[in-house]
Amino acid sequence: MLLATGIPLVEALDVLIRQHTRRLGAVLRDVRDRVAAGSSLSDALAVHPVWFDNIFCSAVKVGQLSGHMDRSLKELAAYVGERQTAKARLFAALTYPAILATLGTG
């Protein structure tokens, strides 16, 4: 949303840095510094594969090349949210059988 309103990328990253935890904030600071030094956002994100996988970096690169970075990032945020929801549901679905198996073994 910040990019759609015309805020420069480095300033948008500064806003994100202030909103996140220490670990993710440090990663975002590195990404911001790389972008400020002239690196593309996708290349700066690719340096941190633990936080940003290939799908994430590729989606950002497509947004950069197409000139629709804001739209690409919005769709990427929806994808990441859906993926986290699916992981949470899977964990919740497997917790009860795991407890029963543990108690049954005991």
- Gyration radius of the chain's alpha carbons: 18
User: Which architecture characterizes domain 9-105 according to CATH?
Assistant: Up-down Bundle (1.20)
Q: Tell me: the pLDDT tens digits for 14-27?
A: 888 888 778 888 89
> Domain boundaries in the chain?
9-105
> Is the separation of the CB atoms in 9 and 41 below 8 Å?
yes
Q: Tell me: the pLDDT tens digits for 21-80?
A: 788 888 999 999 999 999 898 999 999 999 888 888 998 899 888 888 888 888 888 888
H or E element in which residue 53 lies: none
Q: Percent helix, strand and coil across the chain, each rounded to 5?
A: 75, 0, 25
- Does the pTM exceed 0.75? no
At position 12, the amino acid (one-letter code) is: A
pLDDT at 98: 86
